Every structure is written in C-alpha cells, then in structure tokens.
Structure 1
Amino acid sequence: MAFESGMASLGAEGASAAAHALSLPAESYENDSRLEVMWAMKAYNHAEVYFNLISSVDPKFLKLTKQDDLIYSSFRETFKDLNIQQLQPDDLKSDEAKETWRPFCNQFEGLVEDFNYGTLLRLDSEKDYSEENTLFATRVQFFAIEIARNREGFNNCVYKMKSAQS
C-alpha cells in the first residue's frame, strides 16, 4: 500500500504528534499540505486495517459499528439497485448521486462517530486497495457499502483468497 514509508518516517513521536493534530477542530488549521498528508495517512491506515480484517476473518461475522443494522437497512432502502460489487466513481461523486448520498449520510450524524471523515473505499470488492481501485468517500459511505458487501457475500472472495494462500 502507498504510504508505508511515510508513516515509518514519522517515528513514534511524529505519529503521536500527527494523531494529536488530527484530533483538533478543523477551524484551527489553514491550508497546510502536511495536514493533508496526515489525513491521507490516517485514511490509508484505516484501509489497511480493514483489508487485513476481511482477509483474516470471515466477513459475514464482522460488525463494523454499533449501528450496522440501521446503516444496512437504510442503505438498502435508499440504494436498492446500487452495484456494490463493482462501484463506479459516479455512484458516489456525480451531482445526482451526491443529492441522494447527502441526506443518507447526514442521518448518521451523532450516531456514527466521525461519520463524515474521509475514508478510502475500494471500487471493486474483489481487489485490494490500489490507486485504480480506490475512491475517497465519507466514513458512513464506507460503512454502508462495506456492511452490505459483508452481509451480501461480496467480500468473501478476499477472505477465501487470503485463506487459500495460508
């Protein structure tokens, strides 16, 4: 994955400072490229942990949040026909999609911690994170799609592939 050397170069003290900086309110920052790199590294770390999780534990048993049932039912009610196995960028980024996603996401404010934080999302559920297979999404979009992929069996191939390699 892309940022491993960047995180390693921070060291323990730098990583601690980065974690503290990321916990401060957004208003305390101006445009700072170092902050953007820290956010990217945080998103990358989240992606790496999640992919390792679905690679080592049968995804149908995973619970990602305390609100999984609510997120899933609301997601499938709102996005009945969304192809979660193979997402297209426009499924989340087009103007029309944004109009549907915005109220969906906002209903989880206060229910899902960091619901609107930036998170990396795989487009193709059968593949690892890569530049071509990754989209920047909000945390609740990530949860909605990954909870659905886990429940509907689309992440099974990742688990089975990694289990076969062991």
Structure 2
Amino acid sequence: CKTSSIRGRIERHFPGSWPFKSHALLYISGSKDINMDTGEVLASLGVEGAAAAAHALSLPAEAYGNDAQLEVMWAMKAYNHAEVYFNLISSVDPKFLKLTKTDDLIYSKFREDFPDFDLKILDPELLKSAEAKEKWRPFCNHFEGLVEDFNYGTLLRLDCEKDYTEENTIFATRIQFFAIEIARNREGYNNVVHNTGVKAKQQTKEQS
C-alpha cells in the first residue's frame, strides 16, 4: 500500500531512527548539521521554502507520486500529529477529550460495525489485510464530507499503553485513528498513558 512504501523510504533514508521528524527536516532542507533543531531547520528553508512545505503538507500521500522528499514531509506531518495527540492524552483526562465535531457518531458507528474490536493491543491484520480493508471501506466512506481529510494517512499506536515507537506504530487513515482513539478514550484504555504522564509531571515538580 502507499503508506507502507512511504515508511520503507523513510527507513532507507534514516535507518534506525525513530521518531524521524528532525531527520526528515534535515533531509528536506539538505542540511548536514545533525545538531540543528526543528526550528532552525525550518528557518533555513526561507519564506518561499516554508510556504512550499506548508502546501506540500496539506496534500494526501497519493499526491506525492514517487517524490521521496515530499513523501518524507508527509510522513513528518503524520508524526507531528501523533506527537501532539500523545502529549494531549498524557496531560488531559482522555474521557473529557473531544477529537472531532462528530465524536458521538464516529463512536456509535464504530461499535456498531466493529462490536468486538480489541482496542488494547491492535492486530495489524485487522487493519491491513485484504479482508479487513473490505470491512473498513464502507465505515470510512460513511464519513466522507463529515470528517475533514477522513482518508488521509496518520500514525496509530498498536498497544494503547505505550508511546509511539517504531515497533508500536502502524499507518492508518485518519478516520480509523479517530474511531479507535475515541473508543480508547471513552472506554478507559488510554488511562494508563494519562496516569503515567501525570505522575511524571508530579515527580518533575517535586525534584525542581
């Protein structure tokens, strides 16, 4: 699939690196300075370069064709989304989070179509196999026009109690991400991440 080929290209460009955001930015800018942070690399692109990057990041993966640089930029956007989301559930009680304007509809439709779907540890085959794709397709298409960029690619954690790592991450569509994470939040599966984040912040305050 398209997302698998993108990940393969990322791994070839940046072997053994995860997360890859900073490395991807360095690759895009052509910089050789591995000590540059994200802000410095973006600044090095200049106004025109930054504008071009913003436009490229607004496109779905399919629009990139075989352009490796643009594919890496798309993947970087997906990682940024994942990073923000994980920080959010680490800080805010997940049961109070509202991810879209249609959370209730997404959740009810998801549990109607996938009543026995295991949210704790995802089975990649239930997302990526030919049979699974056929089952997911009508669910995903149901939200066309209701959820912005519903079919864009994003990153999804396999084990809900762990962070985004190379071993714990799979590419999925945005509506699959919303369906699974809304359900995880409402059914208490993301509480472990939240409790761990709260404890870490308390320990940091006590040590400071």
TM-score interval for Structure 1 and Structure 2 normalised by the shorter chain: over 0.9
In the TM superposition, residue 94 of structure 1 has moved relative to its aligned partner by 1.0
Identity among equivalent positions (%) equals 73
Q: CA RMSD in A?
A: 1.8
Structure-2 separation of matches of 1:156 and 1:107: 29
- Residue 31 of structure 1 corresponds to which residue in structure 2? 66
- Residue 206 of structure 2 corresponds to which residue in structure 1? none
TM-score by length of 2: 0.75
- Residue 4 of structure 2 corresponds to which residue in structure 1? none
Compare relative contact order (CA 8 Å, sep 6+) and give the higher one, 1 or 2: 1
1:7-156 alignment, distance < 5 Å: 7=25, 8=38, 10-12=41-43, 13=46, 14-23=49-58, 29-156=64-191
**Structure 1 residues without counterparts, runs of 5 or longer:** none
In the TM superposition, residue 24 of structure 1 has moved relative to its aligned partner by 5.2
Helix, strand or coil: the match of 2:98? coil
Structure-1 separation of matches of 2:62 and 2:125: 30
> 1:4 aligned to 2:35?
no
Structure-1 separation of matches of 2:95 and 2:145: 26
Which amino acid in the other structure matches residue 134 of structure 1?
T
Which amino acid in the other structure matches residue 86 of structure 1?
I
Task: State the 4+ residue runs in structure 1 displaced beyond 3 angstroms.
Answer: 12-16, 24-30
Structure-2 separation of matches of 1:23 and 1:123: 26
**Structure 2 residues without counterparts, runs of 5 or longer:** 1-17, 26-37, 202-208
Structure-2 separation of matches of 1:127 and 1:27: 29
1:109-156 deviation line (CA, Å, top 9, x unaligned): 010000000000000000000110000000000000000000000001
TM-score by length of 1: 0.93
Structure-2 separation of matches of 1:163 and 1:27: 39
1:10-35 deviation line (CA, Å, top 9, x unaligned): 41444443111233587875420011
> 1:163 aligned to 2:180?
no
Count of residue pairs brought into register by the alignment: 166
